[in-house]
Amino acid sequence: MKKYLLASLPFVALSSMVVAAPNFETDAPIAYMTDLSSGAVLFEKNADKQIPPASMAKMMTVYVAFDLVQNGKLKLDDKFRVNEETWKKWNNQGSTMFLGVGDQVSVRELLHGIVTLSGNDACVVLAEGIAGTEPAFVQLMNKRAKELGMSKSRFGNSNGWPDEGVTVVTARDLAKLASATVSNFPKLYEAFYGQDAFEWNGITQSNRNPLMGKVAGADGLKTGHTEEAGYGFTGSAEQKGRRLVSVLAGLDSYGGRIAESVKFMNWGFRAWEPKKLFDKGTRIQNAEVQLGDSSTVSLVAPKDLFATIPKASDGNISMKVTYNGPIKAPIAKGQPVATLVVTTADAGRQMLPLVAGDDVGEAGFFDRVWAGLKSLLGMA
């Protein structure tokens, strides 16, 4: 049962004045921005429209590989051979890593070839090496997309090459994928994203990320371009511990993608700011516990918690705690068990995690029997 706790939240001094979200205009037909520090959506324009992703689909190929590496099912030093059939199909077909027939290429090198060089050939070689065939790998891509809640996206190949409408995404789903990549694989993200260039077979190619060198803290993620999709970009940057993810799609020129991406990300950092709500470790509320050696567990902030609001004004903020409860014991200290829902007039709902402040063990035998009797008699 979903529980909502509204009362007795620690007091936070906030202005009651409601202000409009900072104005922003973009030539991009599709745009979306979220602040990972708070979960706030700062901007959306046709964010749920299904579109061809072009090379932005490669983020899912990388995500699948990262997941396998982190879980010990794939090693960065594992090597895959470039077979002749794959080479014939993808040699100089769009963006390329310039792989050669028979090359033995490590997973590490292929990931650099995908992330930095956007190599269509690198994607297929990696997919075949991991799953045996590209279609089998695509099944993994769609499985991960479902797990991430990318409900309006599907993948038909590993590199985003036009496939008569099979592969489609939305800006909101691309932001979910980018956010999950940053959050779930921080060490791998740091190792592979944000590289200026990469060399293979004596050919050095630069990263096409339009933010790098133009926006402080820019380190990801992926550009995309086909005639059908236009020019798109899913980007991320971190400044002073605050990370933004942006998506633009459908732009009509390479230069336009650069200009709009830089303008959009700068707006996100300059027009909005984080406002601290609670310090790390603050007890926010108590939650009911089922069949535990304690009837309640404290809900605490796992880190400093912020809301994102326009820089010009505080805005109006309301808060409530939600959890599925009572929460069943045992519960480990630090276990995520609830959500602080922060609502602002400017950025909608912002979902912040709360964790258990203490360990709660299971109730003893007689306590469990007594709890069952009370439930049977309607006393619980």
| pTM for the model | 0.85
Closest CA to 30 of 160, 151, 225, 170: 170
Residue 324 has a CB neighbour count (10 Å cut-off) of: 13
Task: Set out the domains of the chain in order of their start, with CATH numbers.
Answer: 2-16+276-376 (2.60.410.10), 30-272 (3.40.710.10)
Residues, the chain: 380
Backbone angles phi, psi at 291, to 5 degrees: 55, 45
pLDDT tens-digit series, residues 242-262: 999 999 999 999 999 999 999
Residue with tokens 């104005």: 23
* % of the chain with per-residue pLDDT over 70: 89
- Output 371 or 193, whichever has higher pLDDT: 193
pLDDT tens-digit series, residues 69-118: 999 999 999 999 999 999 999 998 999 999 999 999 999 999 999 999 99
Query: How big is the chain by its Cα radius of gyration, in Å?
Result: 24
Q: Please determine, for residue 368, whether its predicted confidence score (pLDDT) is greater than 80.
A: no
The angle at the Cα of 246, spanning 244 to 248, to the nearest 5 degrees, equals: 170
Active site residues: 55, 58, 118
Query: Distance (Å, rounded) from C-alpha 172 to C-alpha 17?
Result: 29
Contact 123, 85 (CB under 8 A): no
What per-residue confidence (pLDDT) applies to 13? 32
Burial track 88-106 (b if 16+ CB lie within 10 A, e otherwise) = eebeeebbbbbbeeebebe
Burial track 210-248 (b if 16+ CB lie within 10 A, e otherwise) = bbbeebebbbbbbbbbbeebbbbbbbbbbeeebbbbbbb
Q: Please determine, for residue 342, whether its predicted confidence score (pLDDT) is greater than 60.
A: yes
Burial of 264 (0-12, 13-18, 19+ CB in 10 A): buried
Query: Distance (Å, rounded) from C-alpha 198 to C-alpha 106?
Result: 14
Closest CA to 111 of 147, 139, 70, 146: 70
Average model confidence (pLDDT) across the chain: 90
Contact 375, 367 (CB under 8 A): no
> CB within 8 A of 101, min separation 6: which ones?
82, 83, 84, 87
Q: Which stretches within the chain are classed as H helix?
A: 58-70, 84-90, 107-115, 120-131, 134-147, 171-184, 186-192, 254-271, 365-376
What average pLDDT does this structure show over 14-41?
77
